[in-house]
Amino acid sequence: MHIDKNILIALEQRYRANLINCLSGFKPALLVGTQSPSGDTNLAMFTNVLHIGANPALLGLLVRPAPAGTERHTLDNITATGEFTLNHVTTSILPAAHQTSARFPRHVSEFTATGLTPEWRDDCKAPYVKEAPVKIALRLAEQQTLAINNTTLVIGEVQSIYLPKEILREDGSVDMAKGHIITSCGLDSYHATAPGTRYQYAKPDTKATKVT
């Protein structure tokens, strides 16, 4: 099938949103934990999260523009406190994690609404999710608006990482599949993954070789 730009523009809005949100392929699924200056906790599922750099250790979060009059609790809290957590979604907490995307009023914590448990560690001003095996605390490092569609790229520097010893490999890489971490696609689809195949660092004069 071929969908060119003219067809794309003419598509019904919801159909186009489904299609384009799938086009980038598989994404992570992360719960972003924040707290407002007045102490309200917030939890929201984000899938547009990406690796920005390893040294300094930076992760990015893309926040879509809010239509006039709507609230963006996560972004407001990050801007106000400078801190947030990222918590990886596993198969077992998936329904609760998806439910955080409902439009709860500001005074209702998604923790209370979904049954997930806020956990306070270190001196982090943002709550972790107790049920998530892999969790990261970040400090706001840079915030940039993309002129083209007014989305906000929030870049955080990693302050603290918690993860189970069993999924941390000897070389520092993390076996997310073994940890039952899921991947997402589009606006509403979540997938378990098969054990990974690893390849050695590619060199021009040798064929791709699996790590065994």
**Angular region, 152: left φ>0, alpha ψ -120 to 50, beta rest:** beta
Question: Which of 138, 43, 164, 50 shows the shortest CA–CA distance to 97?
Answer: 43
The answer to the question of residue 66 lying near its own copies (CB under 8 A) is no
As a residue count, the chain comes to 212
Binding mask 150-169 for its own copies (x = CB under 8 A): -x-x-x--xxxxxxxx--xx
Q: Which of residues 191-210 bind its own copies (CB under 8 A)?
A: 191-204, 207-208
What is the Cα–Cα distance from 171 to 2, expressed in whole angstroms? 43
Q: Which of residues 10-29 bind its own copies (CB under 8 A)?
A: 11, 13-29
Binding mask 100-119 for its own copies (x = CB under 8 A): xxxxx---x----x------
Buried-state track 4-17, b at ≥16 Cβ within 10 A, e below 16? eeeeeeeeeeeeee
Provide, rounded to whole angstroms, the least separation between the CB of residue 39 and its own copies.
21
Whose Cβ is closer to its own copies: residue 37's or residue 209's?
209
Whose Cβ is closer to its own copies: residue 37's or residue 111's?
111
Provide, rounded to whole angstroms, the least separation between the CB of residue 171 and its own copies.
5
For the chain, the distance separating the N- and C-terminal CA atoms, rounded to the nearest angstrom, is 39
Provide, rounded to whole angstroms, the least separation between the CB of residue 194 and its own copies.
4
Q: What angle do CA 166, 170, 176 make, to 5 degrees?
A: 45
